[in-house]
Amino acid sequence: MKQRILVVDDDADYRELLQHWLESEGHEAILAETLEEGFVAIATVPLPDVVLVDIHVGKENGLTLVHWARKQRHLAHMQIAAVTGLTSFKELKSIGEAGCDNCFTKPINFKALREYLAGLAVPAVN
């Protein structure tokens, strides 16, 4: 199932890598280089289905975007996964407390990302 996926990352090479991979998997990639661009993209209709947000976007904390999104009723369904090069216990705790649905460490394991996205595409049983 094709999904709209927002990638918020200040590393141009990494954004491009994710864009090419996501598109090769049949998804639509929306790219944001700064946290400000991420805020605009996360609130633009049609909304992204999934957000992959780097925890360190330049000098800013990507979890700021997550905290904001989790306070917006119309974004409650949106899946948000953190992406980070660091995985200390303190950082993992912050990621969970912010409301991220998943966390991927850099370099991303594309098999794990594929499984995560495929799991989201399964319709809910009512």
- Tell me the C-alpha distance between 93 and 31, whole Å: 26
Among 35, 102, 98, 34, which Cα is nearest to 66's?
98
Starting at the edge strand found earlier in the chain, the sheet holding 50-54 runs 28-32, 4-8, 50-54, 79-84, 102-105
- Quick one: average pLDDT of 59-73? 95
- Tell me the C-alpha distance between 21 and 108, whole Å: 11
pLDDT at 11 over 60: yes
The domain spans of the chain are: 27-108
Considering the domain 27-108, what is its CATH architecture? 3-Layer(aba) Sandwich (3.40)
Q: What is the pLDDT of residue 30?
A: 97
pLDDT at 2 over 80: yes
Q: What is the pLDDT of residue 33?
A: 97
Q: How confident is the model at residue 125 (pLDDT cuts 50, 70, 90)?
A: very low
